[in-house]
Amino acid sequence: MNKKISLGVAVSLFILVAALSSAVTLGIVGNEYNSILKGLPEKIERYEILDELDDVINSNYYGKSEAKDLEQAIAQGYVAGLGDRNSLYMTADRYKEYLSEVNGDMFGIGAEYTKTKSGYIGITKVYDGSPAENSGLRAGDVIVAFDGIRIDVNNYEEMESKLLGDKLTSVNIIYSRDGTETNVTVVKGYEAQSVFTGAYNGVGYIGIKDFYPSTAEQTQQAIDKFLSSDISAVVVDLRDNTSGNYEQAMKTLDVFVPMSDTQRAAATVLDENGSTVKTFSTASGEVSLPVAVLVSGDTQKAAELFACNIRDFNKGVIFGTGNTKGSALMQEIFELSKGSAVLLTTGTVMPYKSESFNGVGIAPDYITEDSPRSDVIEEDGQFLYAVSVLRGEQS
């Protein structure tokens, strides 16, 4: 009688043979050998469950199943089982998009939208420096056709997909504004702008929306421009900055602060056992101007570290409506076979001198809850409050 060897047993036998081979080849004995086999019973049980489930589905499922779809769902579910919303599995296509996003290389036309009551595509927001902005699109416009084809209830999803796409691909758009239709051709893909600058009453403004590889250089250019003018202080706006790119945030911080103490790193990543797994340093050189940092309840991760370290280095003070988000967990990407990848939480980031802000956030030095907020700095009460403090007009 032929008896099937289950997937769980097969995988377990493979692990056992591999461990025995390593032990013989490398001369591993005792505790080191035992560590190789650690968790083997759990692995056997895990694969047995999958094997059993696979048999049930193949024998009883009414519809058709695609092996690729099942593999991806298993991978996604496996990572989701960690219960960590910051960790996730990415397919090869999604991983390519992720790499572009963290580098500021964006897909599509650079606009947010919603489906209107009439079944068209209504633009709700246009990103600065995007193809949509460069083509004249703005919030409130309604897209009614793509490439000469009008949008209707039957083709909405197909037409919606035309807003996406790789760099240098183009799409012809007809949009309506105040009853007038306009025809434009939009080339997709753009480099997202992360740094926005301005000045008011002798105080420079640097708004950082995200931390990209270009952010530190753009920030340095803004500082150099301020130093060559009559600017006497700088406000750095990190409100709603949710970036998890700690490396780029620390490079940007390095523009402002001096070299860290020889006895401690500018920031340290600790694993679950409290052991150091990564450190960040800063080089010599610093900004001679007083600095204020604007934060919000949605400021988190790398932006929180930036704000906290500005204060830890005694370079400036923090303004906000209350504590920041309180997310100091660091994620790292691990590439897998077939082009996919997994993003995993690997540690907690500790600031230069302060205690961990994970779960508690960063308390501002000045509360701005009574100050209205605006996208125009001259009308932004929170920015103006920081300006008045930096200028010594308020304490």
306-337 pLDDT per residue, tens: 999 999 999 999 999 999 999 999 999 999 98
Type and span of the H or E element at 171: strand 170-177
The residues spanned by each domain of the chain are 1-63, 107-191, 195-390
283-314 pLDDT per residue, tens: 988 999 999 999 999 999 999 999 999 999 99
- Model pLDDT, residue 68: 82
More confident residue, 264 or 257: 257
Is residue 195 within 8 Å of 208, Cβ to Cβ? yes
* Residue 9, pLDDT above cutoff 60: no
168-215 pLDDT per residue, tens: 789 999 999 999 999 999 998 888 889 999 999 999 999 999 999 999
**Least confident range of 5-14, 49-58, 201-210, 383-392:** 5-14
Cα dihedral sign for 59, 65, 68, 71? negative
Mean pLDDT of the chain: 87
Type and span of the H or E element at 345: strand 341-350
Neighbours of 156 (CB within 10 A): 14
CA dist 57 and 34 (Å) reads 36
List CB contacts of 143: < 8 A, sequence separation 6 or more. Answer: 113, 120, 121, 122, 123, 151, 173, 174, 175, 176
46-66 pLDDT per residue, tens: 678 888 888 888 889 888 878
What share of the chain in percent tops pLDDT 70? 88
CA dist 249 and 239 (Å) reads 14
Task: State the DSSP code for 379.
Answer: G
DSSP string, 87-116: -EEE-HHHHHHHHHHHTTEE-SSSEEEEE-
Is residue 208 within 8 Å of 215, Cβ to Cβ? yes
As a CATH number, domain 107-191 is 2.30.42.10
DSSP string, 223-259: HHHHHTTT--EEEEE-TT-----HHHHHHHHTTTS-P
Neighbours of 116 (CB within 10 A): 14
CA dist 10 and 5 (Å) reads 7
98-131 pLDDT per residue, tens: 998 898 888 889 898 999 998 999 999 898 888 9
- Model pLDDT, residue 327: 96
Question: Which CATH class for the 195-390 domain?
Answer: alpha beta
